């Protein structure tokens, strides 16, 4: 008797969630603007590939909107972990080629103490 076939998250006929894919972004903070690359998988994983790589999750919230949360570790010159950034954003897809998001990033020291909060805005374009 043949074994049942596993079902993929998405077959070729079903569309991927709007946020799924690779994105190049401008990340704006009060005192600086930087670039970043984000990857959102169809299964809900979120990956930050710029700076010190971070990971987390994302979920659709309806009508082309989604939210994502990523933890980015911070390292000192000696390679030791000095803390982490908790990135928490709400986003809206602008068609299939871009999204904007905003939120607050919380910076913690190595003991987990919240040191400060930073408002952050992101403007991203699909990058395949």
How high is the pLDDT of residue 14?
45
Q: What is the arithmetic mean of pLDDT over 103-124?
A: 98
**pLDDT over threshold 80, residue 110:** yes
pLDDT band at 8 (very low <50, low <70, confident <90, very high): very low
SS3 per-residue string spanning the chain? CCCCCCCCCCCCCCCCCCCCEEEEEEEEECCEEEEEEEEECCCCEEEECCCCCEEEEEEEEECCEEEEEEEEEEECCCCCEEEEEEEEEEEEEECCCEEEEEEEEEEEECCCCEEEEEEEEEEEEECC
Q: What is the arithmetic mean of pLDDT over 79-104?
A: 96
Q: What is the arithmetic mean of pLDDT over 41-60?
A: 93
């Amino acid at each position: 008797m043949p074994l049942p076939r596993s079902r993929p998250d998405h077959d070729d006929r079903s569309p991927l969630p709007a946020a799924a894919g690779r994105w190049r972004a401008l990340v704006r903070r009060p005192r600086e603007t930087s670039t970043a690359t984000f990857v959102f998988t169809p299964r809900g994983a979120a990956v930050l590939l710029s700076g010190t790589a971070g990971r987390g999750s994302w979920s659709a919230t309806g009508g082309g909107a989604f939210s994502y949360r990523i933890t980015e570790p911070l390292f000192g010159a000696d390679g030791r972990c000095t803390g982490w950034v908790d990135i928490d954003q709400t986003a809206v897809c602008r068609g299939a080629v871009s999204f904007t998001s905003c939120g607050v990033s919380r910076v913690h020291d190595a003991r987990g103490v919240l040191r400060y909060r930073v408002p952050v805005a992101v403007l991203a374009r699909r990058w395949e």
